[in-house]
Amino acid sequence: MERKQQGIDYTLLFLLFLLMCISLLAIYSGAGQYFSENPTYFVVRQLLWFGIGAVIVAGILLVDFDFYKNLTIPMYSFGMLLLLAVEFFGTERNGAQRWIFGIQPSEFMKIFLLVALAHLLYRLTHERNDFSLKADFIILLKILAVGVPPFFLILKQPDLGTALVIAAVIGTMVLMSGIRWRILLSLAGLGILFLAVMVYLHQAHFEFFSSYLIEPHQLARIYGWLSPDEDTSGIGYQLSQAILGIGSGQLFGTGFMEGVQTQGDAIPEIHTDFIFTVIGEEFGFLGAMVLLVVYFLLFYRMIMIALTCNNLFGTYLVSGIVGLLVFQVFQNIAMTIGLMPITGLALPFISYGGSALLTNMLAIGIVLNVQFRTKDYMFKSKETYS
C-alpha cells in the first residue's frame, strides 16, 4: 500500500536561509574595503546570485529526478566538450585557463559527473549477479573510466581545487558502490605510496619533480602551507595573516566590522576563498561554531534524505552531493587555518561568487527533488520490486 509523497523539506530550506544570512553579513564586512563608496556592491550581487539559485531550485523541482537518467550521456558529453574547448580555446586569467564564453565549465562538470556516476552505480546494482572479487574490480574500473578523464582535464587547466572536488565525488561513489573493503584499503595504500614517491622525488630529484610533476605556483603554495612563517611577506603572507586574524577573534570575536585584519585590507580575496577569516575574527570561536553547526545540521538532514529514499538512484545522487559539499567545507576551512594547502576553493553558500554558488544551489535542488518525490510504502520500497 502506497502513501503520499513527502512535501518540501523546509528544514533544509531554513538551514540554507541561515547560510545565506551569514554569507551576506560576512561579505558586507569583508568586501567593504574594495568598494568603500559602495560597500553593498558585493552583497547586492551575492543576493542576486541567491535569487537566481532559488529560481534554479524551483525549476529542478518541476522535473522528477528519475528523468535525469535520460540526460546522463548528453550532460556528461556536453561537460567533456566544454572542458576540451577550455583546453584549446579557453580564456586565461591569473595563469590559469579555466574559462570559456565567460563561464567556468569545471564547476558544472561536478554535477554532470555526479549524475553520471549515480546512474552508473544504479545500473550496476540492478544488473549485478556476480559478487566475486573480479566483479568488484570491474565496477571500480567503470567508475574510474567515467571520473578520471574530467579529473585530468581540470587538473591540467590548472585547477587543483576543483580537481580535488572531482576526486572527492569519485571517492564517495566508490565508497557507495559496495565493493570489498580490501580493495578500498588497497586504494588508500596506493595513495599513501604515491605521496611517498612524490616526497622522495622532491628530495632526491628536485629538478625533475619541479619541471614535470608540479606547477611552480602549486609548489609555492605547498611551501607557504608547510612554512608560512618563513616568508610572511611572500608565499606565506595570505595564510599567516588569515591565522593571525582568526586567532585574534578568540572566543567572542572583535565585533562586526571591527576586525583589524578584515577591515585593514590585509588578506587578499577575503570575501571569496578566505571568507572564514571574517567569521573567525569578527565573531570569534562561537561564531565559527555556529556556522559549523549549521553545516552539520545541513549534512545530517541530507544524509537522512539519502537513507530514507527508496530509490537507489536518488540515494546515490544525494550521497554524492553530500561528499561534494562536505569536502569543500573541510578543504576551505582547513586551508584557512593552515591544516591543508591553499587551493582556491570557495566555502559553500558563504563565499562570494556566481558559478560556485549556482552549482551548489543546483545540488541542493537535486536533494530537495529526491526528498520531495520519495514515497513511503507499507511493506517494501518500490525499489525492491524493480
The amino acid at 83: L
The tens place of each residue's pLDDT in the chain, 386 residues long, gives 444 556 788 999 999 999 999 999 999 998 866 666 777 889 999 999 999 999 999 999 999 999 999 999 999 999 999 999 988 887 777 667 787 777 788 888 999 999 999 999 999 988 777 778 888 999 999 999 999 999 999 988 878 889 999 999 999 999 998 888 898 999 999 989 999 999 999 888 888 888 878 877 778 878 888 887 776 777 788 888 899 999 998 999 999 988 888 887 778 888 889 999 999 999 999 999 999 999 999 999 999 999 998 899 999 999 999 999 999 999 999 999 989 888 878 999 999 988 889 999 999 999 999 999 876 554 554 444 34
Phi-psi region of 159 (alpha: psi -120 to 50; beta: other; left: phi over 0): beta
| Per-residue pLDDT at 378 | 47
| Whole-number pLDDT of residue 386 | 44
Are β-strands 375-377 and 2-5 bridged in parallel, bridged antiparallel, or unpaired? antiparallel
Q: Cα separation of 356 and 53, whole Å? A: 11
Strand, coil or helix: 40: coil
Q: How far apart are CA 218 and CA 159, in angstroms?
A: 10
Angle at 262 between CA 159 and CA 247, to 5 degrees: 90
Q: Characterize 266-284 residue by residue with b for buried, 16 or more Cβ atoms within 10 angstroms of its Cβ, and e for exposed.
A: bbeebbbbbbbbbbbbbbb
**Which residues, including other chains, have CB under 8 Å from residue 229's CB and lie 6 or more apart?**
236, 240
Place of cell 565493493: 179
| 284: containing domain | 2-385
The tally of domains found in the chain comes to: 1
374 three-state secondary structure: coil
Question: pTM for the full model?
Answer: 0.90
